[in-house]
Chain A
Amino acid sequence: MAKGDRGTTTRGRQTTARPRGPKAAGGNEPELVQLLTPEGERVEKVTGPDGTEYTVDFTDEEYRGLYRDLVIVRKLDAEATALQRQGELGIWASLLGQEAAQVGSGRALRPQDMAFPTYREHGVLYCRGIDPIMPLGLFRGVDQGGWDPNEFKFNMYTIVIGAQTLHATGYAMGVTMDGKTGGDDGEAVIAYFGDGATSQGDVNEAFVWAGVFNAPMVFFCQNNQYAISEPLERQTRIPLYQRAAGFGFPGIRVDGNDVLATYAVTRAALDSARHGQGPTLIEAYTYRMGAHTTSDDPTRYRIASEVEAWQAKDPIARVRAFIEKQQIADADFFAEIDEQARREAVDLRERVLAMPDPQPDTLFDHVYPNGSPLLDAQRDQFSRYLESFEGSAH
């Protein structure tokens, strides 16, 4: 299956007034788009508040492919956590629990689309066909990213909360200025961010700009219910997707633990953007099953029963249940996927361990495209200083 071009989604072309969102039914939690229940039952299609129909029409092979993605992404994440525990990474931000949100949205991207991640989008990165080793230098402390966003259509990780949403918006403005919207081959841009990030000025400014300039943007918010220790109520009084209305573009909540629904909703929003119909805010409703990062201790701020309740909505178990019910794979298939995941994890581990430490004087590299005499002098002085230890006990 071609990467980034899986299945289909139908979406009624939007010609009517746009801003609105699913209404909270009778004061209850607002509805979310779901195409696969936690029990693995397939929902045929869901009609969004604007009449958009969300569905997927995957082949058996494509369903199996999504399952493979989910399992491998989780396994690589677990391996990175283990590497951190063993001192091989300085820190790790696990995506555990958010696999469907990332695989669903990641697979919805078309090759020409551009992604702006936070620090947790390892699953999206994987679905872009990028070597999972690429972000590990940042977490190991040997580099700060170091890759070319344009080469991979995937920007460097951004740790400063929310900053990338503005970058994404500016990039999307450039897409419009270049005349690259309006057809099926148009370009769309996706910005990832968390529930906590929605409080930042930058993110709200990005909403304003994207709206004003009708930027071909998808704001993809993974609402994993926490910003480190702070629960969602510390960031908002209304469901996050409803914020979009105030900025003049549609917002929609999707079951972020449902890879099919996430795929369908993201695909539709990206296609809307690439056709020149402007931004969409997607709130992928999910849960951070692990700690914020390996430095965090979630037992200080949340109770085990809450985690257990979300365990029952596991994004991978439901796909497996569906596949089993449909009898589109046998036991050998699941065993083979586990084995493939294991092999990829071992391979990742070996390559992490082999990552060289940077040479001391590389810290002076790349500060400016045109260099600086001040830095040249400091580098020389530093080299002489290091040489002064040569032959000594140091």
Chain B
Amino acid sequence: MATETLTLGKALNTGLRRALENDPKVVIMGEDVGKLGGVFRITDGLQKDFGENRVIDTPLAESGIIGTAVGLAIRGYRPVCEIQFDGFVYPAYDQIVSQVAKMHYRSRGKVKLPIVIRIPFGGGIGAVEHHSESPEAYFAHTAGLKVVSCASPQDAYWMIQQAIASDDPIVFMEPKRRYWEKGPVELDAPLTGAYPLHSARVVRPGSDATVLAYGPMVRTALDAATAAAEDGRDLEVIDLRSLSPLDLGVVYESVRRTGRCVVVHEAPSNLGLGAEVAARITEECFYSLESPVLRVTGFDTPYPAARLEEEYLPDLDRVLDAVDRAFGW
């Protein structure tokens, strides 16, 4: 079986290529996705190989991208829409929330919209405003949408293909600051054998406390676990992968063992994913908990100027600080 070392970005690119090869109904659409290959080069080379009808440079209008994707989907296509940066999805928000999310429900299942909305999200790249946001909770809060996030090249390669193959509309959150990180990718296994799209996964087993993360924060959590190990603390790290629906079975099992849990995300804490996760863990694991579920998140401010982002973003130290607090409870 072919295993290659790829960056997360290249793994997505390869997954998109597979999807275009496997299903003639798959089309990619977005701003600068053609000749340029997208500002992050995730669609690099695809227009050259699949043509302008399969990889479409769209006019500069996000509402248009998603709205026309709805029509294409009604017509039987499987649009994969690229939103250039997290902060530019909002012009499309109405189409996503009012149309994409609700059409299956309204049509009593007659209309399926197998649309994937790819959004590079999160900070840490020193960008100007609107280029570093974490809007996942807006979508996870909306019934009818599914939301996933990949954290490793292997998952990027499989999850993008699974998302495209799924009949659900899926918001696909890509950890942009991890695009350049490398990892092994098994390229040939059948899609059906891949780890399920909507399942959380233990990425580092441990026994002392459970750290939950997704997208860009999985690497941060793993680094924190490595650092904690030096202090003799054995952290279990779980990659949530699916933000809606959440898959918390593996989380409950873990927290019942460890008794302590820290949730990490870049998005602000107020009504973020961590709030939902903490509430559910409290409901399910109350008698196993040695401390409250603690959140390590961005602050409830707009994403700040680049030279403040290190303060804003959860990092290894803040994760360890929360773990300490969980132990000191």
Contacts and interface: CB of A to CB of B under 8 A. Distances in A.
Interface string B296-329: 0001111011111001100001100100000000
Consensus secondary structure, chain B interface: loop
Contacts of A312: none
Interface string B121-141: 000001111110000000000
A174 B176 CA distance: 41
A378 B300 contact: yes
Contacts, number: 113
| Contact residues on B (Cβ < 8 Å of other chain), bracket | 35 or more
B60 interface: yes
Choose among A234, A367, A385 the residue with the greatest number of B CB atoms under 10 Å from its CB.
Answer: A234
A139 B60 contact: no
A273 B245 CA distance: 53
B61 interface: yes
A160 B130 contact: yes
Contacts of B300: 367, 372, 374-375, 378
B128 A159 contact: yes
Contacts of A301: 35-36
Nearest to B308: A363
Contact of A363 (B39, B58, B311): B311
Interface in A370-393: 372, 374-375, 378, 382, 385, 388-389
A144 B129 contact: yes
Contacts of B88: 160-161
A137 B129 CA distance: 12
Contact of B32 (A159, A230, A375): A230
Interface string A267-305: 000000000000000000000000000011000110000
Interface in A173-203: 196-197, 199-202
Given A144-B305, A200-B91, A229 B32 contact: yes
B63 interface: yes
A230 B60 contact: yes
B293 to A, nearest CB: 17
A230 B31 contact: yes
Given A91-B128, A159-B128, A375-B301, A142 B307 contact: yes
Choose among B59, B90, B270 the residue with the greatest number of A CB atoms under 10 Å from its CB.
Answer: B59
Interface stretch (A14-22, A62-70, A354-362): A354-362
Nearest 4 CB-CB pairs, A to B? A141-B306, A229-B36, A199-B59, A196-B60
Interface of A: 90-91, 137-144, 159-161, 196-197, 199-202, 227-230, 234-235, 295-296, 300-301, 357-358, 360, 362-364, 367, 372, 374-375, 378, 382, 385, 388-389, 394
